[in-house]
Amino acid sequence: GCDSVATLVLSINAISTSTTNISVCPNQLPYSWNSQTYNTAGTYSVTLTGSTGCDSIATLVLTIKPTTTSTTNISVCPNQLPYSWNAQTYNSAGSYNVTLTGANGCDSIATLVLTIKPTTTSTTNISVCPNQLPYSWNSQTYNSAGSYNVTLTGANGCDSIATLVLTIK
């Protein structure tokens, strides 16, 4: 029947926390973490049971690395075909994409816009008397009637095919 002193020593276990920082490429989505899937960048928390039996707050900081892009504009003469770019060969004008690995480890989309400059042509019709032979044209000399072609460099830097049609009156 005497007083009895009972003492309670109450310990409160701390909630444990953890943060996981993850950076992924867009092609690695959805990202799975702690039985959840995530499709966008953000900060996400889940409550789990820690080793002490108490709540454990786990936080995911998800970053999506960008896909990089670049465009290369190239103009070539027809005699420069096929054109080689990023281990590919191209025979005609157009817009071409290749997927490479960027500096951040993600896809890098490189675009080639290939333009083919034209070969220019011209025809000069000349009629001369026999006493006007030899006839000089574009640093060439001609002694008889006929059709003659010379390849020159045009204003666009490409071949220019000049044709002389020489007739003798």
pLDDT of res. 15: 85
85 Cβ contact list (under 8 Å, min separation 6): 72, 74, 96, 112, 114
141-164 as b/e: b if 16+ CB within 10 A? ebeebeebeeeeebeeebbbebeb
37 Cβ contact list (under 8 Å, min separation 6): 30, 31
**Spans in the chain with pLDDT lower than 70:** none
pLDDT of res. 10: 86
The rounded distance, in Å, linking the Cα atoms of 24 and 30 is 10
Give the containing element (helix H, strand E) for 47.
Answer: strand 42-49
pLDDT of res. 1: 79
pLDDT of res. 12: 82
Q: Give me Rg for the CA atoms of the chain.
A: 39
Check: pTM over 0.75? Answer yes or no.
no
The rounded distance, in Å, linking the Cα atoms of 76 and 54 is 70
pLDDT of res. 146: 97
pLDDT of res. 50: 83
pLDDT of res. 101: 94
pLDDT of res. 94: 98
pLDDT of res. 96: 98
What are 56-68's pLDDT values in tens digits?
Answer: 999 999 999 999 9
